[in-house]
Amino acid sequence: MVRTRRMAAEAEPEKSQDAPGPSAKNISEASIKNTRRDRKTAVKAKSESEEGDNDLSAPSKKRGKLENIKNDEYQFKLQAQAQMSFAIDLLKEITRQKPEAMACSPFSLSASLAILHAGARGRTEEEIGSLLKAKFDLQDDQIHSYFSYLLKTFSDVNFRSPEYNPIQPVELKSANKLFVKNGFEMLDSFKDLNKDSYQGMIEQVDLSDKKKLANHINRWANKTTRGLIKNVVFESEISQDVPMFLLNATCFVGFWLKKFNKEHTKEGDFIIHDKERKKVDFMHKDASYGDFQYHETDDLQVLRMPYKENTFAAYTILPKTHRSIENLLKDFDGSKILDLLTQTKDAQCGNVKVDIKYPKFKVTADLNLDEILKPLGMETAFDVSKADFTGISTDVSLHVGNSQQKAYIAMDEKGTVAVAATKVLIMCGCCMYDTYRKVQFYADHPFSYFIVHDPTMTILFAGTFT
């Protein structure tokens, strides 16, 4: 949400609400906590000669010529590495703050930040851009082109049935929407970019009836996330000093290419660390090549479990020895994760059979994005006296207020349901083998996992289990 600078004090953040779970027949009921973790990124802002320029189409050092992102393999790889860097940095910071089982959607958050970045100027723009670009030499137009391509690609994925329906093997929907106060004037350049690159709907709303507006916004988020995310916006957050609510809702439903047999699910010990264990339900199957891809390093096992149609997959990174999640994530960056997942996706493992033991789980998270993004270097956007969003409007001074992501991920014998809603308040075929190498993939100690769109190597959802 964005507030105007007339606001004397920011509204108190609403207490988190538990995300609802699906029915028992659809998904497992293993209970898990939320999470966090450590990392601080220093951002040095350069002075800009274009500072204050409000025309997104105007030439500048930062806005290069639009590239055909689909055909530019080099630029596409840079974008994939940048978004994976953002996903890993996000996972590390959440885990630092609370190292327990967690869920998040890097894609949902980065799509919201990219829209926000389009309206930012000066240091505010640089700090948001550094999160989206990481260390890579990317132009602003390339970021917008990349997200435009992803959103159009994902819009082609089936999303029709309201239930967890095996007739549709994979469903994905991601939607952006701006709820804007009646009479609030935005620059045409910002509105056009939001519509053309981010498929963002803009709805003018009346702020006078707070309860009605909160219910209206929450119905949109609830419907887009299959009823699993509720109460994204609260009455207490609605005021004349909050002219804009920026929301993204992303929902994924996928059925395993080869499902687990429910009769083989057994209770067992999950080893949190040497002195602590907990009981969870473990799914089990002996998998042959085609059901999975498998890759290993000296200290890691990586398993790719594809969903039907083989376009999306869940990747699990499991240390060979018991390690904390913080210890597991500390050596990762975007390039390493991209290489690791790519090597797993392309692995030739026709002579490997994997004995898979995998927990059946449900994880919910309610993330305060202010607390997470500031340590990653995005500070100025939240500062009422320093934020610069003159690329959205020049009529009032704007800054980012209370921001939040609610996420839910559940895996069972049939597949995966993963949903997230992000709110930003703007205030003001194979060879046959005679012998097989048998591998055990026992996910009975802390691991991280990623739900990935393989053709673009986009991390839609990510989490840890501990």
Question: Domain for residue 416, yes or no?
Answer: no
Question: Domain for residue 372, yes or no?
Answer: yes
Statement to judge: residues 287 and 348 lie in one domain: yes
pLDDT tens, residue by residue, 341-375? 999 998 876 677 889 999 999 999 999 999 999 99
pLDDT at 39: 35
Statement to judge: residues 141 and 172 lie in one domain: yes
Question: Domain for residue 114, yes or no?
Answer: yes
Give the E-state strand segments of 369-436 in sequence order. 398-411, 415-427
Question: Domain for residue 22, yes or no?
Answer: no
pLDDT tens, residue by residue, 122-179? 999 999 999 999 878 888 888 999 999 999 888 767 644 444 445 567 889 899 999 9
Statement to judge: residues 380 and 444 lie in one domain: no
Please name every residue paired with 96 in a beta bridge, in sequence order, or none if there are none. 37
Statement to judge: residues 150 and 251 lie in one domain: yes
Question: Domain for residue 3, yes or no?
Answer: no
Statement to judge: residues 209 and 163 lie in one domain: yes
Task: Tell me the residue range of the domain where 302 lies.
Answer: 262-360+424-465
Tokens at residue 294, please? 């498998």
Cα-Cα-Cα-Cα dihedral of 141, 142, 147, 148, to 10°? 60
Statement to judge: residues 170 and 267 lie in one domain: no
pLDDT tens, residue by residue, 103-121? 999 999 999 999 999 999 9
Residue 213 has pLDDT above 60, yes or no: yes
Contact 284, 365 (CB under 8 A): no
Question: How many separate domains does the chain show?
Answer: 2
pLDDT tens, residue by residue, 231-279? 999 999 999 999 999 999 999 999 999 999 999 999 999 998 877 899 9
Please name every residue paired with 173 in a beta bridge, in sequence order, or none if there are none. 251
Question: Domain for residue 347, yes or no?
Answer: yes
Please name every residue paired with 354 in a beta bridge, in sequence order, or none if there are none. 287, 439
Please state, in angstroms and as integers, the Cα–Cα distance from residue 290 to each residue in 32, 352, 458, following that order.
31, 10, 22
pLDDT tens, residue by residue, 409-428? 999 999 999 999 999 999 87
Statement to judge: residues 222 and 151 lie in one domain: yes
Model confidence band, residue 42 (pLDDT cutoffs 50, 70, 90): very low
Residue 148's domain is classified under what CATH number?
3.30.497.10
A 10 A CB-CB count for 290 gives: 14
Query: Residue 414, exposed/middle/buried by CB under 10 A (0-12, 13-18, 19+)?
Result: middle
pLDDT tens, residue by residue, 292-345? 889 999 999 999 999 998 899 999 999 998 888 888 898 888 889 999 999 999
Q: Which residue has the tokens 């999975």?
A: 292
Distance CA 45, CA 36 (A): 27
Statement to judge: residues 280 and 405 lie in one domain: no
Tokens at residue 101, please? 């089982």
Statement to judge: residues 346 and 452 lie in one domain: yes
Statement to judge: residues 191 and 288 lie in one domain: no
pLDDT at 15: 36
Residue 300's domain is classified under what CATH number?
2.30.39.10
What's the N-to-C CA distance of the chain in angstroms?
32
Statement to judge: residues 251 and 266 lie in one domain: no
Statement to judge: residues 407 and 430 lie in one domain: no
